[in-house]
Amino acid sequence: MSDRKLIMVVDDEKFIRDVLCTSLENQGYDTVSLEDGLSAISFVKEQKPDMVLLDIKMPGLDGIETCRRLKQMLRSDPRTGIIIITGHVSSEHVKKSFYYGAIDVIRKPFDLDDVNKRINTWFKVKRMTDDELIQRIAYADGVIDSNKRVRDL
């Protein structure tokens, strides 16, 4: 069995999926590229990803509802992190994303190094504990600390 982490990238824009998947594969992750929320839900019925990168605005099932359903499906294992990556950020989107289980919201256009740092932070955190609240707090602290170090350079 491989120790490589599986990251599911869900976005209706093929270019975004391709950029993220290529970057993540170059970092040593396995990826699956899906174009909508229903495909993501179907995939998770068969295989559990370690991380989900999820767009909000997609045809059919939007990313926030997809996030809610995925978290219900993955309730027995809260260590699957869901990061929302979207160009449609509003305070309501952010609140709903966190309420339904996302660990982070990243605005498009995104910086690939930043996305990778956030994913690495989550994988460090999830090794610490199975308690979802502690994971979220440690993740936020790790991202804040990482961003502070970058600004201090």
Query: What are the φ/ψ torsions at residue 83 (nearest 5 degrees)?
Result: -115, 125
Q: How does pLDDT run across 125-146, given as a tens digit for each residue?
A: 877 766 666 776 777 877 776 5
Q: How does pLDDT run across 64-118, given as a tens digit for each residue?
A: 999 999 999 987 666 789 999 999 888 999 999 999 989 999 999 999 999 999 9
Q: In CATH, which superfamily holds the domain spanning 6-115?
A: Response regulator (3.40.50.2300)
Distances (CA, A) of 91 to 18, 46, 67, 88, 151: 28, 33, 17, 10, 25
Name the percent of the chain in helix, strand, coil, to the closest 5.
Answer: 50, 15, 35
**Residue 153 pLDDT exceeds 50:** no
Residue 85 is predicted with a pLDDT of: 94
- The DSSP letter of residue 5 is P
